[in-house]
Structure 1
Amino acid sequence: MKKTFYLFLFFSFIFCQFLSAQPELFRNNFNEYKDFGLSKRQIQELKKEGELIIFNRDKHTTRFAKKLFNKKVGRTVKEKRRTGKEEYEVIARKKILHYRINYIFFDGDKNSYKSIEKSRQRMLNLLEKDYNFESIARQYSMDQNRYKGGDSGWFKIESVNEDFKNAITNTMRYADEVFRVDLPEQNWYYLIKKSYSPQKIEEILVIKRKN
């Protein structure tokens, strides 16, 4: 019984180590308020009044978020919380270009480039035989996005590494094309599927004040 328990712990640890390889691909530092046309000084002044929050129409679909999207700039929504009353004011709104892809991630810290390239070529061969990219991603991608078939969800292009950005915005790429992207400085390697065309998604900038 003890032996079985320790084996379970061991494989759980290995599995967690495998999933912890998820890179900070979509967390590149950038000024997320610039799309709303506000200066740094304006942003600083607003932050003195309360907390700034960006709502995305695709990602935020709660009843409360929908209520905010129905408000014009300058209008407010008041809410009662456990911590007291809160007021949310819509400061700005804009439709902002977003990108979306499917990807398979290979961790260069865990596998040699030679091994990664061999795996990528094998997967490209499978895709030529009409295997499903999302199914391959679920089986082989080395981050937690594997459970979504490697679907990145909609993201702003500024949120990713410059080399990655240049690769996925290349206008020579055609719809559903699968291609390699290497980020050797981070030791991150990818197969990318151009699954979606860029799309403008409405976002609103909201300030939350406590009363």
Structure 2
Amino acid sequence: MTAEDGATRAQGGGRSGVPMRADARRNRERVLRAAEDVFAEQGIAVPLDEIARRAGVGAGTVYRHFPTKEALFEAVIAGRVEVLMADADRLRAHDDPGAAFFQFFAHKVKQASLNKALSDALEASRGFRYGTQETHDSFWRLVDELLTGAQRAGAVRPDLDRDDVRALIVGCLRAVDQVTDPAKADRLIEVMADGMRAK
């Protein structure tokens, strides 16, 4: 799912709910596509002027659709989180709840290591909302279900909660960022996963 899919499900709807003109809709989509690329490369610290330049529009056009950089960032992250949610939902049906949880953990670390926007969102997630409140709540509900399923199966330590999992993902992401060899990155993820396994 793209950022524009996650940001606006109602086709062509603006912030006020009034359908946008075709040119305004095209500009919004150009801004979202550019923002998705730039945030993935540089994270939330990137200036809005750079996003406007990449989109081929003026800064005023960006502000008309997204009043703050944080609003634009949330719109972009919403699309990424929808993809993670689809993965988590698929893994809920896995025959082995422990394997499902650890697959999700490894996948999320790898996705965030390749996407600075996701990495920044994870770092700030205690005070950050993943897109709409509904998306945010649904995402963490899926994480809870994967975690509790793995704990009931005896695969994950029973004293861990989702805040612990988030902190461990962030810690693992920082470790993975220190290496360039994919095999070493996989090994670091496995070391972190071992620390969550039930003894």
Determine if the TM-score, normalized by the shorter chain, exceeds 0.5: no
Q: Which protein shows a greater Rg? A: 1
Higher fraction of strand: 1
Higher fraction of helix: 2
The two structures have a TM-score, normalised by structure 2, of 0.32
The two structures have a TM-score, normalised by structure 1, of 0.31
